[in-house]
Amino acid sequence: MTQLTELGVAAIRDGVAKGEFKAVEVAEAFNANVAAAQKALNAFIVATPEKAVEAAQAVDADRAAGNALGKMAGVPIGMKDLFATNGVQTTAASHMLEGFKPEYESTVSQKLWDAGAGMLGKLNLDQFAMGSSNETSYFGNVISPWKRNDGGNAAIAPGGSSGGSSAAVSARLCPAATGTDTGGSIRQPAAFTGISGIKPTYGRCSRWGVVAFASSLDQAGPMARDVRDCAIMLEAMAGFDPKDSTSLDMPVPEWDAGLSADLRGKKVGVPREYRMDGMDDDVARSWDEGIAWLKDAGAEIVDINLPHTKYALPAYYIIAPAEASSNLARYDGVRYGLRDLPEGAGLQDMYAATRAAGFGAEVKRRILMGTYVLSAGFYDAYYTQAQKVRTLIARDFKAAFDQVDVILAPTAPTAAFGLGEKTADPLSMYLNDVFAVPASLAGLPAMSVPAGLNREGLPLGLQIIGKAFDEQGVLNAGLAIEQRAGFTAKPEKWW
Amino acid sequence: MSVDTATVARIAALARIKVTEPELEEMVPELNGILAWIEQLGEVDVTGVEPMTAVIENHLRLRDDVVTDGGIRDAVLANAPAAEHGFFGVPKVIE
């Protein structure tokens, strides 16, 4: 019999529909993998095996009754612990929200359950999605299932902020997981763990019920083992939601049905500015391979310029903390979450004590940065300037997309690093998102697909950036790479 | 621009985060490192450039001015650290 946990979204859904196996068997197989890996990988904050089984039983019953099955019917998934789930602890990996059990369900998770998916549990992440290595979680680091091939035993970062999602999918604890991407938080962890992930156009997936970090950037998206699974899951997640004021009021395309790796007549842009001085050799080689693969798929390669690329990251580190400082003002110890009320303290002291106790160091750093750049006397020099630079970055992309259909670049400047290697210097951590942030600032769809392994035996990802609303173009180029990269490597089981 | 201990203390007070002296000492160089790096944005010529307000062009919708929700007091209070008599409890604010 097929090992069920080796199957992806499409294979599980189709196998359940055809009666090759029961949805409950799939849920139980993944539940077992989740339980067995928890101690070593720490990918989940809370496991919900009963939810996975319950959803699977409903799908099996529907099938037996001859009812129509949803796009994700019988597929158990991991839910990043940034999505509010009714009655199930939702923490954003913070002490502030420890024990918080929402009385409502996020739009994206509800849509997935409506499509027949079940929940294996809530996945660990960087605290409030702030981090690139999953080392800022209050509930401990997530350990990547990957190891370097040097015979050493160094713990490797799964990337962040969706590090629980990336580790769980690559370790076969779930066939797919939700992620969110503010400045690379789907793409960078996907690249670090040899899986695929897409951040759709800003507004495709509702932000309602997603713990807010930087609202003008936050977008949910799927993380899975291949491009087709991402397309299927994104169809289930996307769609207009009147409860999100920036939700796109547009029909959801049939991305799965529209998949085609034939890129004849398409133009692929290769941005000169992304080829930075001192670029990692393996990353440069992988990028060149990607160019050759897309050429082989029929595309014409065009050198393009995105002149403001180097300013994207500093602009991001003004805009995102500014929005975060405002969004996180809601954690006041009054309405929900932690309260720290020192003996005899008044209201103001309670706020300050609660927020000191509830937020981790990186979250505090960003709130302080954001408060500073928005404060009187500095607002124009920092925040307004950054938003002007953001306009220029979006214009760069617009001009590029007059010439080309998609853009190809590396996802991250290096393969995964070891835990603890970048925690001493916040800036060196931030620089890991240098290739991911520009597309976020411009609200464009972008995905990472696995391209190969580096000399240390760790995965490398390639990034495809598309025009606004053209997820199909992104997925198609991703599929062309996937078919040629022949990436079959997976972490050797040690946990 | 750079910040000193007094400035960081002021920002922390604005942000309602209590910080200790040693934490302040640690944060000052970290924040200055980040600020020195973002300083490069000043090089960009932004003459005549409008600051971005919406990343994807979209129109703000208006809904009918009618009651669409409510009557869920207990759900609203369910996660409050100190709900009392159907209200959020807070420390005494008036002497």
Catalytic: A106?
no
Residues A4, A21 contacting (CB under 8 angstroms): yes
CA distance A167 to chain B (A): 29
Half-sphere exposure in the Cβ direction for A423 (13 Å, CA)? 15
% of chain A residues with pLDDT over 90: 96
CA distance A178 to chain B (A): 23
Give CA–CA dist B4/B31, Å, rounded: 10
Residues of A in contact with B84 (CB under 8 A): none
What's the pLDDT tens digit per position in A117-159? 999 999 999 999 999 999 999 999 999 999 999 988 999 999 9
Q: Least CB-CB distance to A426: which of B16, B30, B55?
A: B30
Tell me the torsion sign for CA atoms A359, A79, A175, A41: positive
Q: CB burial class (10 A; 0-12, 13-18, 19+) of residue A345?
A: middle
What's the pLDDT tens digit per position in A437-470? 999 999 999 999 999 999 999 999 999 999 999 9
Structural domains of chain A sorted by starting position, each given as residue range(s) with its CATH number in brackets: 4-262 (3.90.1300.10)
Q: Which of A80, A147, A199, A422 is catalytic?
A: A80
Q: What's residue B46's pLDDT?
A: 97
* B21 shares contact with chain A (CB less than 8 Å): no
* Other beta carbons within 10 Å of A172: 22
In B, minimum Cα distance to A250 occurs at B58
pTM over 0.90? The answer is yes
Q: Inter-chain contact B58–A248, Cβ cutoff 8 Å?
A: yes
Report which of A464, A487, A399 is spatially closest to residue A263, judged by C-alpha positions: A464
* B6 shares contact with chain A (CB less than 8 Å): no
Q: Inter-chain contact A314–B50, Cβ cutoff 8 Å?
A: no
Res A223 pLDDT > 90: yes
Q: Inter-chain contact B88–A334, Cβ cutoff 8 Å?
A: yes
- Under the banding of pLDDT at 50, 70 and 90, the label for residue A277 is confident
- Under the banding of pLDDT at 50, 70 and 90, the label for residue B58 is confident
CA distance A338 to chain B (A): 7
Give CA–CA dist A288/A270, Å, rounded: 10
Give CA–CA dist A494/A419, Å, rounded: 17
Give CA–CA dist A323/A329, Å, rounded: 10
Catalytic: A267?
no
Catalytic: A196?
no
- Under the banding of pLDDT at 50, 70 and 90, the label for residue A63 is very high
Pairing state of beta strands A446-453 and A406-410? Answer: unpaired
Q: Inter-chain contact A308–B52, Cβ cutoff 8 Å?
A: no
Q: What's residue A311's pLDDT?
A: 97
Residue entry with tokens 């490192």: B33
Quote the tokens at residue B29. 């160089």
Q: What's residue A398's pLDDT?
A: 97
ipTM summary value: 0.96
CA distance A88 to chain B (A): 12
Give CA–CA dist A414/A417, Å, rounded: 8
Q: Least CB-CB distance to A339: which of B13, B46, B82?
A: B82
A-facing residues of B in 34-53 (CB < 8 A) are 34-35, 37-38, 40-42, 44, 46, 49-53
What's the pLDDT tens digit per position in A290-302? 999 999 999 999 9
Q: What's residue A412's pLDDT?
A: 97
Give CA–CA dist A445/A431, Å, rounded: 21
Pick the CATH number of B5-42 from 2.60.120, 3.30.420, 1.10.287, 1.10.20: 1.10.20
Q: Which of A162, A185, A206, A286 is catalytic?
A: A185
Contacts A–B by Cβ distance under 8 A:
163
* Other beta carbons within 10 Å of A218: 26
Residue of A199, A313, A388 to mutate for B, most B C-beta atoms under 10 A: A388
